[in-house]
Amino acid sequence: MSIISKDIQKAVALLTNEQLVAIPTETVYGLAGNIFSEKAIKSIFSTKKRPFFNPLIVHVPSVDSLEGIVTHIPEKAKLLATAFWPGAMTLVLKKSKKIPDIITAGKDTVAVRVPNHPVTLELLRQLPFPLAAPSANPFGSISPTKPAHVERYFKDDIQMVLDGGACRNGIESTIIGFENEEPIIYRLGALALEEIEAVVGKINIKNKEEISPNAPGMLARHYAPKTRTFLVDDVASEVKKHLGKKIGILVFKQSLENTSLTEVVLSKNGSIQEAASRLYDAMHTLDSKNLDIIIAEKFPESGLGNSINDRLQRATFK
């Protein structure tokens, strides 16, 4: 029997009973548990095989629910929350004592977000506790953007995927931390840098080496298919280097029109938004076709193109 269901009351019951439920968000599906249940939180880590040094994002129904969870909200965090919540932005703020150390990997900060998905907002409103919800995939593999992706990963491990359809944004949230009250990007994501800068001015991106202990979402190889993947500017020339292999192609808008290749065009209209929302589903599809290699095309380096390139880069073998 399928574990996919639209029954919010069933999700409420399971979560209240310290069980895990996969939940829809606008970014990717999350593997959710009660932040105050040690049993649920431990089972998030064991189900995902996620290392304990990798902290979890806490999901709340509104900015008001942060009371008691964080001890301080910098002015620019308030501006960002007003501008983008509910939405694909995670803020890392000073944590209150109530937040268990296992959620934050022992840090004195906690990552929080108000997700923009009607089903999960309704669920969060009905629950008397926030939900910790990392992406609902085994550690290091491709994030799920459809209920079926989660079911394939975890049908033997969890009782329910709350069905909210395909994720609209399709890549993880943009994570923003604060140093001396000033925002700094910890992870590029579904909310473009340019949109954030329009609200708080120029903002720095913490470099990958520096950040890795802080934001393991930044680990070099992450979000990865099992099939060996290359990221290049010129897909056609790369194809010529691999003649005789079974090749999968992931391109932005322009088909190579080569019938010997298994190809996914992410957005025929050239919409970056559409490409982002379809990216992981395309990676899941290509990864299931027993190909020798996948060749992905680099995106234009602006807006969401940067976030997509970041994920594609992490999907490649170094």
- Residue 207, CA distances (Å) to 104, 138, 204, 212 in order: 21, 25, 9, 9
Considering the complex, what minimum distance in angstroms separates the CB of residue 279 from ligand AMP?
15
The CA distance from 48 to 158, in Å, is 11
Apex 88 CA angle, 72 and 308, nearest 5: 125
144 binds ligand AMP per the rule CB under 6 A: no
How many helices (H) and strands (E) in the chain?
11, 16
55 binds ligand AMP per the rule CB under 6 A: yes
C-alpha of 242 from chain center: 31
309 binds Mg ion per the rule CB under 5 A: no
- Taking the least distance from each CB to ligand AMP, the nearer of 66 and 295 is 66
60 binds ligand AMP per the rule CB under 6 A: no
Number of chain positions touching ligand AMP (CB under 6 A): 20
From the list 135, 141, 174, 307, which residue makes contact with ligand AMP (rule: CB under 6 A)? 135
- Contact by Cβ (8 Å): 15, 22: no
One-letter identity of residue 84: F
Which residue from 297, 295, 287 is spatially nearest to 252, judged by alpha carbons?
297
- Contact by Cβ (8 Å): 162, 119: yes
From the list 47, 135, 307, 313, which residue makes contact with Mg ion (rule: CB under 5 A)? 135
Q: Which two tokens stand for residue 286?
A: 């290509």
- Taking the least distance from each CB to ligand AMP, the nearer of 186 and 230 is 186
- Taking the least distance from each CB to ligand AMP, the nearer of 215 and 239 is 215
- Applying CB under 5 A, which part among 52-60, 117-125, 131-139, 157-165 lies near Mg ion? 131-139
- Contact by Cβ (8 Å): 280, 142: yes
92 binds ligand AMP per the rule CB under 6 A: yes
The CA distance from 84 to 110, in Å, is 18
187 binds ligand AMP per the rule CB under 6 A: yes
One-letter identity of residue 305: G
The CA distance from 56 to 299, in Å, is 29
43 binds ligand AMP per the rule CB under 6 A: no
> Helix (H, G, I), strand (E, B), or coil: what is residue 118?
helix
Mark 192-231 with x for binding to ligand AMP (rule: CB under 6 A) and - for no binding: ----------------------xxxx--------------
- Taking the least distance from each CB to Mg ion, the nearer of 173 and 306 is 173
Considering the complex, what minimum distance in angstroms separates the CB of residue 287 from ligand AMP?
19
Angle, helices 75-84 vs 193-200, to 10°: value is: 130
The site partner of 111 among ligand AMP, Mg ion, none (C-beta below 5 to 8 Å per kind) is ligand AMP
The CA distance from 8 to 179, in Å, is 38
- Taking the least distance from each CB to ligand AMP, the nearer of 133 and 251 is 133
- Taking the least distance from each CB to ligand AMP, the nearer of 23 and 286 is 23
- Contact by Cβ (8 Å): 316, 229: yes
- Interface residue list for ligand AMP (CB under 6 A): 54-55, 57, 92, 104, 107, 109-111, 134-135, 172, 175, 177, 186-187, 214-217
- Interface residue list for Mg ion (CB under 5 A): 135
